[in-house]
Structure 1
Amino acid sequence: MDILKCFVGALIFTSLGTFCSTKIENGGKNIVCYYHQTLYFPPSEVPHQLCTHIVYAFASISNDTIVPDRPGDTETYDVLVGFKASNPKLKVMLSLQLGFNNVVTDPDTMKKFAINAIGFLRHYGFDGIDFDWEFPKASQKNRYMQFIQIFRAQTSLDSRLGNQTALLISMALPNNNHQASILYDYTILNNNIDFATLMAYDFHMYIPNVENITGYNSPLVAPIGENPNSSTSGLIAIYLGLGLTPEKALAGIPTYGRSYTLANVKQHGLHSPAIEPGDPGPVRHLRGVYTFTDTCAALKLGGTSVWDPVSLVPYLYWGKSWVSYASEKSVAGKVRWAVSKGLGGVGVWAIHLDDLTGECPGPKLPLINAIHSAMKSTRNHCL
């Protein structure tokens, strides 16, 4: 282990806040788990006892209302909402990604959509809505913020008229400091949303002629020499500095990794030359992306894992493949860090990218379990 790196890592953690001997009780902190249905991960397997919120991704906006993205989605809604029978504290939400341009036009259209959308959410038993517009243009900022206010006003009216709990409103916010600074009004967000997941991932991936070296998908701390904003801690600092209330900020945690094809198999460290996205993973066969199942399979097949004591994340190299991934240790560390900073919890993208097969050692869904355990437990040691 590089003694200098350990020393620098210790200094960085001192600057981030108390990290050793941090006592964590759950204390109402959120574990918001996004889920996108796949053939290998049916909704019946969603770990509803490990999450405070389940957010189903995605539905779309069309004809001034919400429409399911694909046939069978309403049956999935019923399964997810049905979990509340055995876990009454669970909140189930629906995420929207496409179609905002058709609504964020004028106040009448915004109000009409809000009324229709609330009716849709109530009909299927959802507890709230997640706005995942990636991303508005700067010229749409004021209208988007007006839309958020109109939607909140309509949920409040719906709550009063129906004598029921108001629907939740959440958002997914970008990992780009420029977008963060120009696309949102944080006073409006603080007054109208319940929480926001800050997408602290995809900081690096292979992009021809742009990113031709290996890099971390989601470091807690940026590597030495990199922009400190390209990390979970850096991104959170940006949003808090812009005025987002800490209790409404969730640290985004990925359960997937980004892979690269090495230019030279003998150069396999961080910032090594890469020539293209990584070959399809050994299980899910996604080019440039490793689910956690792929990660565990690659390690079983002879991959070598390396822990970075500065950025507090691992990577692996396996033949010509290089993968920045999340581990139980790294996700638990992010949970403890988020709690130590007074954040509202964590947002996880995504349940279906964790391991359900048993390929990884320990319980199924090891990353979600590690997140849950870290949030519930007292940890009195340093990573």
Structure 2
Amino acid sequence: MAKLTLLTGLALLLNAHVGTAYVLTCYFTNWAQYRPGLGKYTPENIDPNLCNHLIYAFAGMNNNEITTYEWNDETLYKSFNGLKNQNRNLKTLLAIGGWNFGTEKFTTMVSTPQNRQTFINSVVRFLRQYGSRPRLMAPAAVAGGLSTIQAGYEIAELGKYLDYIHVMTYDFHGPWDGSTGENSPLFSSGTLSVEYAMNYWKNNGAPAQKLLVGFPTYGKTFTLQNPSNTGIEAPTSGPGPAGPYTKEAGLLAYYEICTFLNSGATQAWDEPQDVPYAYKGSEWIGYDNVKSFGLKVDWLKKNNFGGAMVWTIDLDDFTGTFCHEGKYPLISTLKKGLGL
């Protein structure tokens, strides 16, 4: 399981939404503090009224016990949980794991009743220590790719016990493919789409109202082999160049994408998949924008899913200075669309 997410926050949540009471869950990453200049992001930057669940990523695990990860996590936890003083309905959560965490520690932890109890006791003690008083909650972030889902999860069992299931409906395509592709297409002819992944989870025993659709506030970039071949599945030679703030080849934050778009890139709409892409020279990017987020929200509501999960709050245009669409244009689209 890529990320096991546990509550550090507030009150008991109803397991079903009533009317339009959808959940909007946003991840905050504790490494965003290291981005330069306008990219730097700490809990002080968070709008406490934007998302109704906030998840702190990530904590670690050693010897079956939860641990901090960054040198200043304890200070950041305090600021993060303090956001509830500005919004009494806000829920704050803590995620354990992450992309590079692997499965070994989780596998060991769940292998015996004693190890599980050690973990549970450490988590409860840890969360109470950092200001969590009411009933704790256990959602999980799960894969969106079919082979990973089939190999990794007992869906119906998870559906019984988890409060929410955050489906990571992104990273469907990337530089590893050797050709251009969309990061998070709503539709596709195969299995790599938001629609396919969400319906697979629902049809195999996870209650729709517990399932949250994953929304990425970043795009995947590619280097084209031939700058004149710019369509979907055009041959690529590797990832696109790293952005000035996120500094990771093959990925750009939404605010970095806006800079790319404003530099004269050609923008295109991928009609079958309901997401945009853009290109300039040999650089190609598949991403999401306000329009595609709006279409996905409409689809989410039509299919009675529980809400949206955003990776991440710090990759949206949180200052509003790059995209000229106001602060947090993507997440604000979700908030408005979900009627929150």
Into which bin does the TM-score normalised by the smaller protein fall? 0.7 to 0.9
CA contact (8 A) 1:32 1:55 kept: yes
- CA displacement at 1:63 relative to structure 2: 2.8
What does residue 92 of structure 1 align with? 92
Q: Across the two proteins, how many residue pairs are aligned to each other?
A: 309
Relative to the length of structure 2, the TM-score reads 0.87
**Contact 1:26 1:376 (C-alpha < 8 Å) held by counterparts:** no
Deviations 1:30-56 (A, max 9, x none): 001011031311111112211010000
Unaligned runs of 5+ in 1: 1-24, 127-163, 378-383
Q: Aligned with 1:48: secondary structure?
A: coil
Give 3-state SS (helix, strand or coil) of 2:298's partner: helix
Of residues 25, 36, 54, the one that matches 1:32 is: 25
Q: Return the alpha-carbon distance in structure 2 between the equivalents of residues 302 and 73 of structure 1.
A: 40
Task: State whether structure 2 residue 119 is matched by structure 1 residue 113.
Answer: yes
Partner amino acid, structure 1, of 2:233: H
Q: Pick from 177, 181, 185 the counterpart of residue 215 of structure 1.
A: 181
Structure 2 unaligned spans of 5+: 1-17, 34-39
Q: 1 CA distance for matches of 2:313 and 2:77?
A: 16
Superposition RMSD in Å: 1.6
AA in 2 matched with 1:122? R
3-state SS of paired residue (2:197): helix
Q: Is the 8 A contact 1:220 1:233 kept in 2?
A: yes
Give the CA deviation at 1:94: 0.2
Amino acid in the other structure paired with 1:259: T
CA distance in 1, matches of 2:230, 2:24: 34
Question: The residue matched to 2:56 in structure 1 has which SS?
Answer: strand
Partner Cα distance (1:186, 1:311) in 2:
26
Residue pairs, 1:51-66, within 5 angstroms = 51-66=51-66
2:190 maps to 1:235 = no
Aligned to 1:363: 326
**Correspondence 1:200 to 2:169:** yes
- In 2: Cα distance, 1:286 partner to 1:372 partner: 28
Q: Which runs of 4+ in 1 moved over 4 A?
A: none
Q: Which amino acid aligns with 2:331?
A: I
2:19 and 2:289 mapped to 1: Cα distance? 21
Residue 338 of structure 2: aligned partner: 375
CA distance, structure 2, for counterparts of residue 246 and residue 109 of structure 1? 31
Instruction: Report matched runs for 1:230-379 at 5 Å.
Output: 230-281=192-243, 283-357=245-319, 358-376=321-339
Give the Cα–Cα distance (whole angstroms) in 2 for the partners of residues 286 and 116 of structure 1: 34
CA distance, structure 2, for counterparts of residue 284 and residue 32 of structure 1: 22
Using the alignment, how far apart are the partners of 2:57 and 2:19 within structure 1? 26
Mapped partners of 2:333, 2:216: distance in 1: 13
Alignment correspondent of 1:73: 73
